[in-house]
């Protein structure tokens, strides 16, 4: 099949719409279920590239949760702690394969943003991963294949209309890519830059102690940024993104946005949040919404009389600003990647507040010395990789 007609483009008024191969060859995908749309395919193809590269770099199964052409989360298949299982709403008796762990982590980075996501998996979708996806609100999935029972589980989603795409994992795109804007064609070489341990060699800080876990997290952050709308910053820990800031015009705003999301991920693990007295029987997204309001400074919206009774069995005490600060002050070992250099040291100051111990960025700013000095002040390991990862 050389082309596939779509219902419409980014918006219903944008017709006609299709995807096709300019070289006359066959599309490297097969739609196994549903009718994916224009944005679905954009998310699918970007997500597939991300997980393919992440697995190649780490050797572990990888997953990403995409929304509006940027990842809400990305992760590799490391086992989940009991705390992570709880905040990701995974039942105690649920079997978790490495691939399922990868998706749980990717979805769990920012569960609010991942609502209605498009999933990309590096490996054949197995039954545990399909069962996990079945419980989440999602628009579709792309993977190199599906186990027979897993495929049937996924087909049952969205009243049988769940979008399922199989991609040829051996497909190699053309070296030159084109994009039309305002009737004018842009052309460039594809970004085939390989990201692996070789980009971690130029440590410019006094502290040069990079653990293997930190190396994996820095690589994960960079590969995630490669497919995130710029400007972008990614915080990562324990094999998963914890906060992604995308599409901001200011680097510090990007760092703050991603840092706030990473803080929320850590706050979800605070004992006071873990013990919230939820009413049983609600959908996971209802708990997510309540937790987000409770920890993000809008707790009055969920704790108001007549409101808290809809989600809690009793009214919980507020999580005070001091309690938040005390919990977040214990967080360390977080990695941060930036898709371009830090023009000022303010991003380092903000990153430190979110427990960042490792930073990777291109370097090349007129104020690199200030950035290095600030990292040294906090004992942060700083790597200059000389790589810009703008994505538009």
Residues serving a catalytic function are: 67-68, 231, 392
- The span from the CA of 172 to the CA of 104, in Å, is 28
- The span from the CA of 233 to the CA of 230, in Å, is 8
DSSP state, residue 240: E
CA-based nearest residue to 31, from 210, 161, 202, 178: 161
Residue with the two structure tokens 């873990």: 274
* Integer-rounded Cα radius of gyration of the chain: 21
Residue with the two structure tokens 């502290």: 207
The 3-state secondary structure of 156-201 reads CHHHHCCEEEEECCCCCCCCEEEEEECCEEEEEECCCCCCCHHHHC
List, in sequence order, every residue forming a beta bridge with 67; answer none if it has no partner.
70
The answer to whether the CB of 301 falls within 8 A of the CB of 307 is: yes
Token pair of 108, please?
């769990």
- The span from the CA of 307 to the CA of 316, in Å, is 12
DSSP state, residue 308: G
- The span from the CA of 58 to the CA of 52, in Å, is 10
The answer to whether the CB of 54 falls within 8 A of the CB of 76 is: yes
* Number of DSSP helices (H) and strands (E) in the chain, helices first: 13, 15
């Amino acid at each position: 099949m050389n082309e596939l007609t779509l219902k419409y483009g980014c918006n219903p008024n944008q017709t006609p719409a299709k995807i096709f191969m300019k070289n006359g060859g066959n599309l490297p995908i097969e739609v196994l279920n549903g009718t994916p749309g224009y944005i679905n395919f954009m998310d699918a193809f970007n997500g597939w590239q991300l997980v393919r590269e992440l697995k190649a770099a780490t050797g572990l199964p990888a997953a990403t949760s995409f929304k509006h052409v940027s990842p809400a989360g990305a992760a590799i298949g490391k086992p989940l702690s009991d705390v992570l299982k709880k905040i990701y709403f995974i039942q105690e008796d649920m079997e978790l394969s490495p691939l399922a762990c990868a998706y749980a982590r990717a979805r769990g980075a920012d569960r609010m943003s991942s609502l209605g996501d498009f999933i990309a998996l590096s490996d054949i979708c197995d039954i545990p991963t399909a069962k996990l996806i079945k419980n989440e609100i999602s628009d579709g999935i792309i993977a190199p294949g599906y186990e027979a029972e897993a495929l049937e589980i996924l087909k049952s989603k969205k009243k049988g209309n769940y979008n399922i795409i199989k991609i040829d994992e051996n497909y190699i795109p053309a070296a030159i890519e084109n994009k039309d804007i305002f009737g004018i064609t842009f052309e460039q070489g594809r970004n085939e830059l390989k990201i692996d341990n070789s980009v971690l060699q130029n440590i410019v800080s006094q502290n040069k102690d990079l653990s293997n876990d930190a190396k994996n997290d820095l690589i994960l952050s960079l590969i995630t940024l490669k497919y995130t709308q710029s400007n972008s910053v990614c915080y990562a820990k324990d094999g998963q993104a914890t906060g992604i800031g995308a599409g901001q015009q200011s680097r510090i705003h990007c760092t703050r946005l991603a840092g706030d999301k990473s803080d929320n991920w850590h706050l979800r693990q605070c004992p006071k949040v873990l013990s919230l007295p939820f009413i049983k029987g609600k959908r996971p997204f209802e708990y997510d919404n309540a937790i987000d309001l409770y920890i993000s400074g809008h707790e009055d919206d969920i704790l108001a009389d007549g409101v808290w009774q809809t989600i809690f069995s009793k009214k919980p005490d507020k999580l005070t600003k001091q309690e938040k600060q005390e919990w977040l002050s214990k967080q360390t070992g977080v990695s941060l990647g930036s898709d371009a250099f830090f023009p000022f040291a303010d991003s380092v100051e903000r990153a430190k507040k979110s427990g960042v111990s490792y930073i990777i960025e291109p370097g090349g700013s007129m104020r690199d010395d200030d950035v290095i000095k600030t990292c040294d002040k906090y004992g942060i390991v700083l790597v200059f990789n000389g790589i810009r990862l703008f994505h538009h």
